[in-house]
Amino acid sequence: DAGITQSPRHKVTETGTPVTLRCHQTENHRYMYWYRQDPGHGLRLIHYSYGVKDTDKGEVSDGYSVSRSKTEDFLLTLESATSSQTSVYFCAISPPSENEQFFGPGTRLTVL
């Protein structure tokens, strides 16, 4: 196993509430990513991090923010959740010596 966990695994929330998803790795890798998965779209990159306090936007970053204060944790925040953010969210890590990404188990988020 790649040593990557996500919490919570499932969450139901209401429109307008803040939500934070956590990604935790035990591998000490530099790169971490947040993707969302929606039918017909595959996985799309939201934000990524290339080190502590170093983050950048992905393809679908509007409405999301991230933080990385420790190497092992990468947080995704929805400041004010909307129904369009109902999705499955995946975190991934990328070991420098391997040409692939390892994915967490995913978080299913429902915004009512």
Partner 1 sequence: AQTVTQSQPEMSVQEAETVTLSCTYDTSESDYYLFWYKQPPSRQMILVIRQEAYKQQNATENRFSVNFQKAAKSFSLKISDSQLGDAAMYFCAYRSFQGAQKLVFGQGTRLTINP
Residues at the interface with partner 1 (CB under 8 A): 31, 33, 35, 40-45, 48, 50, 56, 58, 88, 90, 92, 94, 99-101, 103, 105-106
Q: How many residues does the chain have?
A: 112
Q: What is the dihedral of CA 71, 96, 20, 70, to 10 degrees?
A: 0
What is the smallest separation between the CB atom of 16 and partner 1, expressed in angstroms? Answer: 27
Give min distance, CB of 43 to partner 1, in A: 4
Assess contact for 3 and 103: CB atoms under 8 A. Answer: no
Query: CB of residue 80 vs partner 1: minimum separation in angstroms?
Result: 26
- Dig out the tokens for 85 from the structure: 């953010």
Considering the complex, state which of residue 25 and residue 101 has its C-beta at the smaller distance from partner 1: 101
65/103 with CB nearer partner 1: 103
Question: Rounded to the nearest 5°, which phi and psi values hold at 85?
Answer: -95, 5
